Structure formats: C-alpha cells, structure tokens
C-alpha cells in the first residue's frame, strides 16, 4: 500500500470509512469534509471505478423485459414473440437511451475502495 497526500491524489473521488465503519464516496475536492472526518478518526483510501450502473447490455435486457411485462399485463397474453426487437426503430430507441446514459457521466459510475492507496490529509 502506498500513501498519497490528498492534494497529490490523481483520482476524482476518495473512499472514506468513518469511525463506525460506514463508507462514503467523496469528491476529493471536498477538503473540509475529508479533513473533519479524518480528524474524527476516519480512514481514507483511493477510489476506483468498478463499473457502470447502466450499460448497453442492461439497456437491451431492461427495455425488452419492460416491454414484455407491460405487453403481458395489458393484453393478458404472451404475444411478445410478435414484437420485432431487431427492427430499426427498436435500435433507435436503444441508441437514444444509450445517449442519455452517457450524459449521466459520473452519476452512472460505481466506485469501490482502492486499498492500494491510503490518502493522507
């Protein structure tokens, strides 16, 4: 494990464990909060992106599942096989949702503790 001063840490977020073990992902620029937590016994590590909350695979599965469930609930039958999920219009819908997800930026990222980097305040 290497120790890095907060001001020299290159990541955008840190992982903060307070004195009771609760974890918080905090923007590294929130110096006052991090300093106060550190003074109160918090341990601070780096944070790394674990993955995305929403991705292309999620989109396709979620949209197909949603449409299938809705269709069955409204019609009382399982006629989803008659719907064309390979059509250009469906692909455009997936593309539009993909653009929206990209616009989420950091709000779409899952972070985890990078225990290889301990942050010193």
pLDDT 10s digits, 1-57: 999 999 999 999 999 999 888 999 999 999 999 999 999 999 999 999 988 877 777
Q: How confident is the model at residue 79 (pLDDT cuts 50, 70, 90)?
A: low
Q: What is the mean pLDDT of residues 102-117?
A: 88
CA distances from residue 66 to 45, 69, 80, 84 in whole angstroms, order as listed: 39, 5, 11, 14
Instruction: Spell out the domain ranges in the chain.
Output: 2-52+109-120, 56-103
* pTM given for the model: 0.64
Provide the sign of the torsion angle of the four alpha carbons 111, 113, 43, 23, taken in this order.
Answer: positive
């Amino acid at each position: 494990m290497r120790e890095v001063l907060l001001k020299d840490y290159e990541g955008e977020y840190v992982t903060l464990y307070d004195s009771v073990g609760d974890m918080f992902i905090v923007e590294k620029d929130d110096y006052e909060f991090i300093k106060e937590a550190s003074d109160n016994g918090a341990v601070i590590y780096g944070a790394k992106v674990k993955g995305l909350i929403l991705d292309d695979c999620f989109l396709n599965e979620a949209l197909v599942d949603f449409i299938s469930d809705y269709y069955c609930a409204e019609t009382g039958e399982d006629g989803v096989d008659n719907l064309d999920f390979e059509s250009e219009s469906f692909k455009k819908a997936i593309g539009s949702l993909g653009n929206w997800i990209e616009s989420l930026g950091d709000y779409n990222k899952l972070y985890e503790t990078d225990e290889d980097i301990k942050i010193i305040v």
